[in-house]
């Protein structure tokens, strides 16, 4: 799942969505618009509905096939929040949730106004996963800790009651699992970043993309060399270049031997814009109506699976 908040960026695309497209060939997949996760921080009600449809269209434009895979909106399948509540009570511990680094990072931003939902977010995510007997959860590496929690909750529940949940594995890409911010290569690219200079948005205009790349932070020196330790900014840009162009890191280093950052960034903008223009063309051909239809049928298909699992859970704990 991805949250329908902020601006979808190239990190979400390269870290998560490209894996999803590939997994469809081998697996029965469920792809979720996690709107209940989005409201763990403040959202504008008018914007939120728009973002839900926008994200659905992004899934489709990226190559998720609604005939093969289920695309659905989390809040339309009430089993997610029901299971989250049950796991809150039976299996989740405050001490586990306090260890979640994402909560620590995000709560710093919201001061006194941190919602209980933000703290509980990983339990809802565990429900999102466990309802569907997931074998694999394809994520960027910032989400590994949350998938590990889902594994722990599944094991604890199975142990305390009866064998109910499949224990899922996570799947991260070797390259692209963590695309860093263009304005600060020590932090991941994020939809909720303070400045739009942090990310390359999938719906940004060509002028904006070009400007953001040309202004991206670089390291000292002038060599185009992949070295995460000493040249984190240029290494991040090389990763993006490599993933979008299909050239290996070595090939890129060779190509730009003797060239400076300016030449490299110029070409990175060309490569990025080629990808974006194709992507945005597909995106613009999908209507809101089509997206709504896909969400309505996806919710029905998801509910069929989720409701079965919830009945099993309720029986296991003695509610029915």
Residue 104 a catalytic site member: no
Residues 6 or more apart whose CB falls under 8 angstroms from that of 74 comprise 1, 32, 33, 34, 35, 36, 37, 80, 128
Phi, psi of 170 (to 5 degrees): -100, 160
Q: Which is nearer to ligand ATP, 49 or 156 (CB)?
A: 49
What is the C-alpha radius of gyration for the chain, rounded to an integer number of angstroms?
A: 21
Residue 106 a catalytic site member: yes
Residue nearest to ligand ATP (CB): 15
The CA distances from residue 129 to 96, 134, 292, 309, in Å, are 18, 6, 23, 11
The CA distances from residue 252 to 218, 233, 269, 273, in Å, are 17, 15, 14, 18
Please report whether residue 91 would count as binding ligand ATP according to CB under 6 A: no
In the beta sheet, which residues pair with residue 171? 138
Residue showing tokens 């996963």? 129
Please report whether residue 190 would count as binding ligand ATP according to CB under 6 A: yes
Among 124, 126, 139, 216, binds ligand ATP (CB under 6 A): 139
Please report whether residue 15 would count as binding ligand ATP according to CB under 6 A: yes
Residue 57 a catalytic site member: no
Please report whether residue 62 would count as binding ligand ATP according to CB under 6 A: no
Among 4-12, 53-61, 205-213, 268-276, the segment contacting ligand ATP (CB under 6 A): 4-12
Please report whether residue 5 would count as binding ligand ATP according to CB under 6 A: yes
Q: Which is nearer to ligand ATP, 100 or 177 (CB)?
A: 177
Please report whether residue 168 would count as binding ligand ATP according to CB under 6 A: no
CA 302/CA 312 separation, integer angstroms: 16
Among 1-9, 148-156, 233-241, 263-271, the segment contacting ligand ATP (CB under 6 A): 1-9
Q: Which residues are catalytic?
A: 106, 188, 191
Residues making contact with ligand ATP (CB under 6 A): 2-3, 5-6, 11-12, 15-16, 139-140, 142-143, 177-179, 188-192
């Amino acid at each position: 799942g991805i949250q329908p908040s902020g601006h979808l960026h190239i990190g979400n695309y390269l870290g998560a969505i490209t894996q999803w497209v590939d997994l469809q060939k081998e697996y029965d997949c469920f792809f979720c618009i996690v709107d209940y996760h989005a409201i763990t921080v403040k959202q504008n009600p008018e914007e939120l509905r728009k973002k839900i449809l926008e994200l659905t269209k992004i899934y489709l434009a990226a190559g998720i096939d609604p005939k093969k895979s289920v695309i659905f909106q989390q809040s339309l399948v009430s089993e997610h929040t029901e299971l989250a509540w049950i796991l809150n009570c039976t299996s989740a511990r405050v001490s586990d949730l306090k260890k979640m680094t994402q909560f620590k990072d995000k709560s710093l931003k919201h001061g006194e106004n941190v919602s209980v939902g933000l703290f509980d977010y990983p339990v809802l995510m565990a429900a999102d996963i466990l309802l569907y007997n997931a074998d694999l959860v394809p994520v960027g590496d910032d989400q590994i800790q949350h998938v590990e929690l889902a594994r722990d909750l599944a094991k604890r529940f199975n142990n305390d009651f009866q064998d109910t949940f499949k224990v899922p594995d996570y799947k991260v890409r070797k390259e692209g699992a963590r695309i860093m911010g263009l304005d600060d290569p020590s932090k991941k690219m994020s939809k909720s970043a303070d400045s739009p200079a942090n990310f390359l948005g999938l719906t940004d205009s060509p002028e904006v993309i070009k400007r953001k790349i040309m202004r991206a932070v670089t390291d000292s020196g002038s060599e185009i060399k992949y070295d995460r330790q000493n040249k984190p900014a240029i290494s991040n840009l090389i990763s993006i270049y490599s993933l979008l162009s299909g050239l290996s890191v070595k090939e890129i280093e060779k190509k730009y031997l003797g060239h400076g950052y300016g030449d490299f960034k110029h070409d990175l903008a060309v490569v990025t814009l080629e990808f974006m223009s194709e992507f945005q063309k597909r995106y613009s051909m999908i209507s809101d109506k089509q997206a709504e239809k896909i969400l309505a049928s996806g919710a029905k298909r998801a509910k069929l699976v989720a409701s079965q699992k919830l009945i099993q859970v309720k029986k296991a704990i003695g509610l029915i």
